[in-house]
Chain A
Amino acid sequence: MAIAADALPAPASRRTLRMTLAGVFGPLGQVFIFVVGSAIVLSVITVLVAFLLRGTRTNVDLVQATLTILPQVIVDGLVRGFLFATIALGYTMVYGVLEFINFAHGEIFMVGAFSGAALGTVLAASGMLNAIPPLLFVLIAVIVGMLVSGMLAMTIERVAYRPLRNAPRLVPLISAIGVSLLLQDGMRLIANVTGLGFNARFPTPNFGPPLQLAQIPAADGRTIPLILDVRALIFIVAATLMLIGLNYLVNATKLGTAIRAVAQDRPTASLMGINVNQIIALTFLIGGALGGAAGVLFGIRVGTVNPYIGFLPGLKAFTAAVLGGIGNIPGAMVGGIVLGFLEAFVASYLSLLTGGAFSGASYADIVAFAILILILIFRPSGLLGEAVAQKV
């Protein structure tokens, strides 16, 4: 199991500062390399394709058009990537300790988004929303979302998964599908009863105008501004902070050591005095909290939430986790980033490059699943995973 691959021998107390820092920031360095790498590779490919196809269109200069929206696409890819990465962490942590796909994780993300929206609505109703600083609001909303989703994930584990832990593999998976459907409709019911509505608005304080990063000169003398929405920036920063926090937790604390031990060998961990049930519950808590935080941040960025928003991001985050090597925490981050960039590029460029014959936004979904299948066929262990022979 790759969670435990690096530096198990030294107990946390006796580790040097250097090792701790390496454990915390090492995976982040990997993520950074993949961010830069996938941005460059995809940009080059896209520009090349545009260059090859430039003869097919007479009314626009394809290369020029491609280049002008490129920076915006990269920012978009970054945001999508961090979204998938934060959700994928929940899948990968649970898979690491239980070898079980928590199908309901997308819905835990959705519930997090709804709890943030509820908080925003309550604050807006009491007139306090614009009185508190935006960043403080984000902080409170994220904490609320983490608490709600974390507790929910733990409860689900206790009620619907723990009784089935020794059952054949498909049994808990089917139960998880049931939980996922139940949560969707349960949330719909709650949203209707409380008056939030099916498409609940997510009121936030005013974040101010979007940041203008640069002015890009276009062909006809106009300039196209490169815009970064403040909310997107918050998303990226918060996601990065969460990744650092998680790395610290898993690689530099006693709890993290216990989680890695359980992931590696459950019976032995239990013999070493680790309360395995408790660690599994905590893993669900942490994974759920990360999902909830991602949900709140997503809700803030998008502005509305509905009970079905968790499904597709959940599936794609699972794809991201598989892409990076499921069970592997840096892998989930890397997989999320790569998938986010791929999607952003397909969504933005497919229509442009095919002259509108294919709608990019729809086919981006297909790309995600195509990647999932290709990865599972050609490299089932993922980008960062190690080949593990299946136990018989």
Chain B
Amino acid sequence: MSTNSLPHSPFAALNRGPLAYVALTAYIAVTSILMLTNTRTSLGTDVSFVLFLLGFLLLYRARVSNGYKLALGAIMLIGVVPYFGTMNAYYIELAIQAGIFVALALGLNVVVGFAGLLDLGYVAFFAVGAYLWGIFSTDQIAQISPGASPVSPQLFYLFMALGLFVGAFFGVLLGLPVLRLRGDYLAIVTLGLGEVIRVLAVNLDRPINITNGSQGIKSIARPPLPDFLYAIFPGLDNPQLYQLFIYALALLVVGITVLTVFRLKNSRIGRAWEAIREDETAAIAMGVPLVRMKLMAFAVGASFAGVMGVLFAAKQQFINPPTFDLIRSIGILAMVILGGMGSIPGVILGGVLVTLLDLQILPRIATELGALKRQGIVIPDWFDPAQYQRALFGLLLILMMIFRPEGILPDQRRREEAHETAVQEAPEEAEAGEVKPV
């Protein structure tokens, strides 16, 4: 079962000792060079990009000193990716998207993974953040209160902070009525609430035009480029600089999120969440303030989504209700489950993987199939993998639940839990598996 202990593999020697430093550096150098020398968007570049990203996983698993890991990781994230991005905008866009979704997944992980509350309406908070900036930074504000003018783009950073509080507020608001519900009810109710937010976004163009209905909000302001960027990168044009800037912003936010989540997990609050997840009754008996802790989980998770919503709106410059539909919530949930509920590195991996699958790998397969078709190979028109996201997410969820519910990079405690139940229930499986312990 424990397939994740690499030392048993033939590459064990490469994973520790001095050889590990050499092998790791060589791998990252080779993939970086491979990527940087072939910048045209193509299948080959896709492969080298994925191999390059795989370097992060190797870096995480390798037994080298933490300082070395950090240094290499920083070179890759701050050096190689942005440099590559200046040559090909598509991949840095991908990296930004992955960053946003990793932060969202980390936020959902607080609710689902730490506290064990299945939230299927998570994207609602993301929508709240996005509409917050969308409404206040465009002429939409004049529709709500005539005479008001859009806020200055300089205030973007203030609004990111505001997104944090508005997200947390909505998290508590939506958390309050559903606190007493048992896990599965909670899932359905949050799903319903997520739908309610989407329906409201579609319909709140009357009687007062707040969200501009299904047309969405256009030309949302972006934060102004800091002037020193022009000085540092004189050779780059404006869109390139902007990509870099947004990338840096996303990286910063993800970094802060990871730190916050990591600190939370190992704090008193994190342990209280864990206790609630494992056994609510026992947690109450131990003096864990159930209501406060559950609300806090909702609020923390939602506040990340609120901040990312503001950033997302500024990056896309356009938002409309379908951006925030159920499938997006499920996609974020798939990231958390794929990587491993409760495990921070796992969720980061899950977020990157699902974003890549969704935005790069499936469309790439579709393009390649299209190329094959032009060469005369018969591929039916209906077969377009990029159209079947739902099937992909669905399969992912089912297979993970059946074969590896603890995820790819499981949280230590979750893994023990999964193992424990497997051992306990093995004899019952033998008797046709029909008796459930009460």
A residues near B (Cβ < 8 Å) are 100-101, 103, 160, 162-175, 177-186, 188-189, 192-193, 266-267, 270, 276-277, 315, 318-319, 322, 354, 356-359, 362-363, 365-366, 368-370, 372-373, 376-377, 380, 390-392
Contacts and interface: CB of A to CB of B under 8 A. Distances in A.
A181 B394 contact: yes
B228 interface: no
A358 B394 contact: no
Nearest to B278: A168
Interface size class of B (residues with CB under 8 A): 35 or more
Contact of B435 (A182, A266, A366): A266
B199 A362 contact: yes
B180 A165 contact: no
Given A164-B402, A182-B394, A377-B177, A270 B434 contact: yes
Majority SS of interface residues in chain B? helix
Nearest to A100: B184
Nearest to A322: B185
Nearest to A356: B206
6 contacts: A174-B397, A192-B382, A357-B206, A358-B207, A365-B196, A369-B196
Which 4 pairs between the two chains have the least Cβ-Cβ distance? A178-B397, A181-B394, A182-B394, A185-B391
Nearest to B391: A185
Contact of A376 (B178, B333, B421): B178
Given A185-B388, A369-B195, A177 B397 contact: yes
A182 B192 contact: no
B118 interface: yes
Given A100-B184, A365-B196, A373-B189, 20 more contacts: A160-B398, A165-B433, A167-B421, A170-B118, A175-B397, A175-B402, A177-B394, A189-B388, A193-B380, A266-B435, A277-B433, A362-B202, A366-B199, A372-B189, A372-B192, A376-B181, A376-B189, A380-B181, A390-B182, A392-B281
A181 B192 contact: no
Contacts of B116: 170
Nearest to A269: B434
B398 A179 contact: yes
Contacts of A266: 434-436
A179 B330 CA distance: 12
Contacts of A369: 189, 192-193, 195-196
A173 B187 contact: yes
Contacts of B120: 177
Given A166-B421, A167-B405, A315 B188 contact: yes
Nearest to A266: B436
B398 A170 contact: no
Contacts of A318: 188
A344 to B, nearest CB: 18
Contacts of A354: 207
Given A167-B405, A182-B394, A276 B434 contact: yes
A64 B71 CA distance: 77
Contacts of A165: 433, 436
B421 to A, nearest CB: 7
Interface in B166-185: 177-178, 180-185
A358 B397 contact: no
Contacts of A373: 177-178, 189, 192-193
B393 interface: yes
Contacts of B425: 166
Contact of A170 (B187, B192, B393): B187
Interface string B401-438: 11001000000000000000100010011001111111
Contacts of B393: 178, 181
B203 interface: yes
A377 B390 contact: no
Nearest to B185: A376
Contacts of B185: 101, 322, 376
Contact of A174 (B118, B182, B429): B118
A319 B144 CA distance: 34
Interface string B367-408: 000000000000010100000111101111110011001000
B57 interface: no
A177 B120 CA distance: 10
Contact of A178 (B188, B195, B203, B395): B395
Contacts of B436: 165-166, 266-267
B362 to A, nearest CB: 12
